[in-house]
A = this chain, B = another copy of it.
């Protein structure tokens, strides 16, 4: 299961009961938090996200609407006697910001807090079943997108076929890895005769805040689902470019060129009280577009 739950879908100033950016990515039983705008911990309570499940937090950039809720969340983890390690990934000054606020309050956390500085294009997490990478986007300040990838599962053994070919069960793990089998009589049993390929792992790409920039395409190419910001509707393309943000049609064009299956749009400007037009405009360019709605979980 790879899924994304939206906690906040608004840009900059909270408005119309929309909150600043935050998403929970669930992958193989692990929960990752991506961005943590002010009020994220309150949104987590509202939408029944278990704080104790969060072990990794990724902060795309240091505009307040993407991280002002982080120190409060860390603090609450401490007060609630969170035990497991917490890994935070973000641009370099974030460490100093957090440490300063902990220090003035004489706060000692009851769990290890590991800070990881983001740098251009790197592997952040590489576990048995999944990986997380970052890539730079084109924003006013240093800013990163994140790619969450389920690793390909082992090949699936067909036990009837394997048994018919005389392969002992002790060799099944090697079959899963793709190895052929040689019988005692030196007959080669090709792996693909007795196994099936597992479906490829799913991929979710979070493109953070960015102006229209095709140079992110290689990082997000063929992701099953892409989140791309659409701060403005098409009519404000000039303003979007000037402020290093994107419009509906720009996000949808990126989705089309990336050959993704589904586009999720968010980071809506506070000047818009309703969102229907965002969906309509984006779908003109990329039909399988959905609005990122707070509290909703999108399966990848």
- Tell me the A residues contacting B by CB distance below 8 Å: 12-15, 19, 38-39, 41-42, 45, 62-65, 68-69, 71-72, 75-76, 79-80, 91, 93, 96-97, 100-101, 104-106, 140-141
Contact = CB atoms under 8 A, between A and B. Distances in A.
A127 to B, nearest CB: 30
Identical chains bound together, number: 2
Contacts of A42: 14, 19, 38-39
Contacts of A79: 12-13
A115 to B, nearest CB: 15
Given A39-B38, A72-B38, A105 B13 contact: no
A257 to B, nearest CB: 30
B104 A62 contact: yes
A71 B68 contact: yes
Given A64-B75, A71-B68, A79-B12, A106 B45 contact: no
Contacts of A97: 97, 100-101, 104
A64 B39 CA distance: 13
A38 B141 contact: no
Contacts of A14: 41-42, 45, 76
7 tightest CB-CB pairs across the interface, nearest first?
A: A38-B72, A93-B104, A68-B72, A62-B104, A39-B39, A64-B75, A13-B76
Contacts of A13: 41, 76, 79-80
B41 A141 contact: no
Contacts of A91: 104
A91 to B, nearest CB: 8
Contacts of A45: 14-15
Contacts of A106: 140-141
A243 B167 CA distance: 67
Contacts of A69: 38
Given A68-B71, A71-B64, A93-B100, A141 B105 contact: yes
